[in-house]
Amino acid sequence: MNTAKKVKSALISVFHKDGLEPIIKKLNELNVTIYSTGGTENFIKSLGVEVVPVEDLTSYPSILGGRVKTLHPKVFGGILSRRDHVGDVAQLDQYEIPEIDVVIVDLYPFEDTVASGASDVDIIEKIDIGGISLIRAAAKNFKDVVCVSSMNQYDEFLNILEEGKGKITLDQRKKFAAKAFAVSSNYDTAIFKYLNEDEVAFRESFNKVSPLRYGENPHQKGYFYGDLDGLFEKLHGKELSYNNLLDVDAAVNLMNEFRGEKPTFAVMKHNNACGIAQRDTILQAYVDALAGDPVSAFGGILIANTKIDKATAKEIHKLFCEVVIAPEYDEEALEVLKGKKNRIILVQKEINMPATQYRTALNGVLYQEKDNITDDRSMLKPVTELQASEKEIEDLLFASKICKNTKSNTIVLVKDMQLCASGTGQTSRIDALKQAIEKANHFNFDLKGAVMASDAFFPFPDSVEIADQAGIKAVIQPGGSIKDQLSIDYCNAHKMSMVFTGIRHFKH
C-alpha cells in the first residue's frame, strides 16, 4: 500500500522564524493552503505568500492578549479528523472544517526565559498552551498529519518536501510524531521543574543526544544526553568516549574545588586523581602532579585551573593522554598539543553545574543533592593537644578537597600541596591507608611531615597508628565514631595533631 500522502494544507504558528522562509516558499510552490495567525501570519505575508488567517477559519479573533488563538474545534477538528473514518469526514463537511495535513510549531522559549532570570510573570507567560496542544494533536494523528515541532526540524522537513515533491510517507510522519512527543515531554518537564518545590516526582529530560562509539565496553551501546557545547569548546581531537566523559566529569568536579586559587593541575584516571599539585606556575604544578603517579597518568585526563602556556604544553606533549582541559591556552601551546591528532583539547566555559545528581539503581533512580560542601578553616575543630601548624592546615584542606572527590573508602596523603598518594575504592579504611603508603613509597615520596585526609571517621585507632609509623603527623577527618577518643588519645601520646570537620564525604 502506498502510504505517501500529498500535502494540501498547513497550519503554521512558530516563535522562531529563522529557517522558515524556504519552507513557506516550497509550500506555496506546491499550491498548499497555508493557515496562520499573529506574528507568523505577518511574516508569511511579508514574503508575498498568500495566507489564510486562523481568525477567518474560526470566526473568532485572537483573545486574552494572545493566550487563545488556535484553540478551536475548526482548527483541532481539521488536525484530528481520521481521513478514512466515515463519521469524521461527515462531521468535517457538516461543520465546514478543512483538513489540515501539516502542523508546524515552534514553542515559546520557556527554558531560555527561565535561564535569563526573567520575572515569574514573564516566565508563566512563556508557558505555551496553543502550540503544545497543536503538537500533541498532530502527532497523535500521524497516520494523516505530519507535525514539525521545532525549528531544529525545519531543514529535515524541507528536504522531505523537495524529495517527495510534496508527498510524505507514513514512516516519515511517524518519525516526526516521535520527535513531537519528545519535544512536548521535554517542555512539560522544564515547566514541572520550575514550579515543583516538593520533589513529588522525578522528571528529567534532555533534547540533545550524542551517540558514542560504544558504552563502558565495546559490546555496549552508549549515548550522552545533554549540551556538551554549553560546557566545553572542543578545539581538537577525536570524539569523547563514554569512559572519557566519566573521567572528564570527575576532573571538572575536582578542579572546581580550586577555582580562583593558585595554579593547580590534576591528572585523572578512572574517576580518581592519580596526581595533583598547586604551585606558583602551571608548569611546576603539572610536573609535580605527574610525579604523583607517572605510571597511571598514561592515557589519563589532564585538567588545569588556569591558562596552559607553551612550556607546560611541551611537557604534556611527552605524555600520552586522552584529554586536556583548561579555561584557556596560549596559541603556541595549542600548536604543540595539536601535535597528536587524536588528543582531545577542551576549553572549559564558566557555567553553573547542576546542584543535584541521580543514577539508576535496581528498578528505579537514586536522586540526591550534590556534595557541595567544601571543608574550610571555619569548619576545623582541633581535638588534640598539639595544634596543626599553618603549613599543615593548608595541606590538610588541600588533601580534604581531593578526598571529597575520590572513590570511597579513601585515604589521601599530601605534602607541600602535592598529592603523594591515595588509597581509593577500598573495602576498609585501613586497606586504603596501606595502599596509599605503599604507593607513596613506590614513587619515592618522603612521608615525614605529610598529612592524611579520610573521607569518613576512623572506627579504631589503628589508622592513626599506621600513619604515625609512616611519618605522618597531621590528620583531618569528619569525626563521629563512638571510639573517636581512642584515635585522639593515640595522637596525643605520639605528638600528632588532628582536626574534625563534622562532614563526611563518601563517594560511591
Strand partners, 267: 275, 302
Residue 399: closest CA among 386, 383, 415: 415
What is the distance between the alpha carbons of residues 487 and 498, in angstroms, rounded to a whole number? 9
Active site residue 140: yes
Q: What is the CA radius of gyration of the chain?
A: 30
Q: Which three cell numbers stand for residue 116?
A: 535569563
Active site residue 270: yes
Residue 433 three-state SS: helix
What is the distance between the alpha carbons of residues 437 and 430, in angstroms, rounded to a whole number? 11
| Strand ranges across the sheet with 411-414 | 381-382, 497-500, 474-477, 451-454, 411-414, 419-423
What is the distance between the alpha carbons of residues 432 and 437, in angstroms, rounded to a whole number? 9
**C-alpha pair distances (Å), 426 with each of 408, 409, 434:** 7, 5, 10
Strand partners, 347: 233, 326
Catalytic-role residue among 236, 262, 270, 317: 270
8 Å CB contact between 423 and 436? yes
Catalytic-role residue among 8, 25, 26, 140: 140
What is the distance between the alpha carbons of residues 321 and 340, in angstroms, rounded to a whole number? 10
Residue 403: closest CA among 449, 452, 447: 452
**157: which DSSP letter?**
H
Sequence-separated (6 or more) residues with CB below 8 Å from residue 210: 223, 224, 225, 228, 239
Residue 248: in which H helix or E strand, if any? Answer: helix 242-256
Strand partners, 364: 361
Helix, strand, coil percent values for the chain (each to nearest 5): 40, 20, 40
- Strands 321-326 and 344-348 come out as parallel
8 Å CB contact between 452 and 397? no
What is the distance between the alpha carbons of residues 444 and 427, in angstroms, rounded to a whole number? 26
Sequence-separated (6 or more) residues with CB below 8 Å from residue 153: 176, 179
The residues carrying an active-site annotation are 140, 270
